[in-house]
C-alpha cells in the first residue's frame, strides 16, 4: 500500500481500520508524515464506539463512515469532502493566468517573463497541469494519463524529455522564480521560489 502511495497521486483515501497489512490509523499516520500534501481521508469501518470515532478524527481523518452503509451516502460524503478539499476555481474561458504565466489554448502559447513561447499540444497540456497544481507533487502516472491518456506503448522517457523541454523553454529555474524538480520514484513538482534577501536575480 505504501508503495502505491509513494508512486501515484491520490485525491482522497478510503481507509478501513483493519486491513491485511496495516492498521488503518497507522497508515493514516504514515500518509500524513510522508505525503506532501496528504490527501483527505475517510475512515470506513465497522467500529461504532464513540471513542473509536473520536480517536480517528483526532488522528487526522476528515470523516468517518460506519459499516454497513448505503452506497449513495458514501458517494455523497466523498463528494462533499472533495468539494471542501479542492474548491472549484473560476470557470476559464480563453486565456488563463497562473502565477504570472498566461496560457492561450488557441495558440498553445504561454506568456511568461514577458516572452511568448509556442509549445506543442503535449508540452502545453503538461505545463498547464503543472501550473494548475503549483507546489503539489504530481505522480508520473497521473501526468502521463492526464496529458497522453492511457497509452501502454508510450516510451518511458517521454515524460522526462517533455519536462526537460519545458524547463528550458519556459525558463522554469530558480533564477527566474520557478523550480521544476523530480521527486525520486514518484514524479515532479513545480514550485514558485520565494525571493531571497540579498540575492540578485539575473
Domains (range + CATH), the chain: 2-85 (3.40.50.2300), 96-192 (1.10.10.10)
**In angstroms, rounded to a whole number, what is the distance separating the alpha carbons of residues 10 and 63?**
17
pLDDT at 13: 92
| Residue pair 164/119 in contact by the 8 Å Cβ criterion | no
pLDDT at 142: 86
pTM here? 0.61
| Per-position b or e across 154-177, b if 16+ CB within 10 A of its CB | eeeeebeebbebbbebbebeeeeb
Can you list the positions of beta strands (E) in the chain? 13-15, 41-45, 63-66, 96-98, 101-104, 109-112, 115-118, 138-139, 178-183, 187-192
Looking only at the bridges linking them, the beta strands covering 96-98 and 101-104 are: antiparallel
Helix (H, G, I), strand (E, B) or coil at 6: helix
Helix (H, G, I), strand (E, B) or coil at 92: coil
**In angstroms, rounded to a whole number, what is the distance separating the alpha carbons of residues 142 and 192?**
21
Residue 38: left (phi > 0), alpha (psi -120 to 50), or beta?
beta
pLDDT at 194: 76
Q: How many helices (DSSP H) and strands (DSSP E) are in the chain?
A: 7, 10
Q: Please list the ranges in the chain whose pLDDT falls under 70.
A: 1-3, 6-7, 88-93, 151-153, 195-202
pLDDT at 198: 42
On the question of a cis peptide bond just before residue 68, with omega within 30 degrees of 0, the verdict is yes
Helix (H, G, I), strand (E, B) or coil at 181: strand
- Strand order of the sheet with strand 63-66? 13-15, 41-45, 63-66
pLDDT tens by residue, 13-42:
999 988 877 788 999 998 888 887 788 999
Amino acid at each position: 500500500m505504501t508503495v502505491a502511495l509513494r508512486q501515484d497521486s491520490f485525491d482522497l483515501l478510503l481507509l478501513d481500520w483493519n486491513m491485511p497489512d496495516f492498521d488503518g490509523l497507522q497508515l493514516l499516520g504514515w500518509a500524513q508524515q510522508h505525503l506532501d500534501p496528504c490527501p483527505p481521508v475517510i475512515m470506513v469501518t465497522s467500529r461504532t464506539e464513540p471513542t473509536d470515532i473520536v480517536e480517528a478524527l483526532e488522528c487526522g481523518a476528515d470523516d468517518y463512515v460506519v459499516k454497513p452503509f448505503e452506497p449513495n451516502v458514501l458517494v455523497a460524503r466523498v463528494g462533499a469532502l472533495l468539494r471542501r478539499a479542492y474548491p472549484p476555481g473560476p470557470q476559464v474561458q480563453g486565456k488563463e493566468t497562473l502565477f504570472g504565466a498566461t496560457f492561450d489554448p488557441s495558440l498553445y502559447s504561454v506568456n511568461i517573463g514577458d516572452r511568448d513561447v509556442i509549445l506543442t499540444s503535449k508540452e502545453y497540456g503538461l505545463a498547464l497541469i503543472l501550473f494548475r497544481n503549483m507546489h503539489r507533487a504530481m505522480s508520473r502516472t497521473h501526468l502521463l494519463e492526464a496529458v497522453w491518456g492511457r497509452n501502454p506503448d508510450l516510451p518511458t522517457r517521454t515524460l522526462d524529455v517533455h519536462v526537460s523541454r519545458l524547463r528550458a523553454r519556459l525558463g522554469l529555474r530558480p533564477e527566474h522564480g520557478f523550480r521544476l524538480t523530480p521527486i525520486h520514484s514518484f514524479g515532479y513538482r513545480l514550485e514558485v521560489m520565494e525571493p531571497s534577501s540579498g540575492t540578485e536575480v539575473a
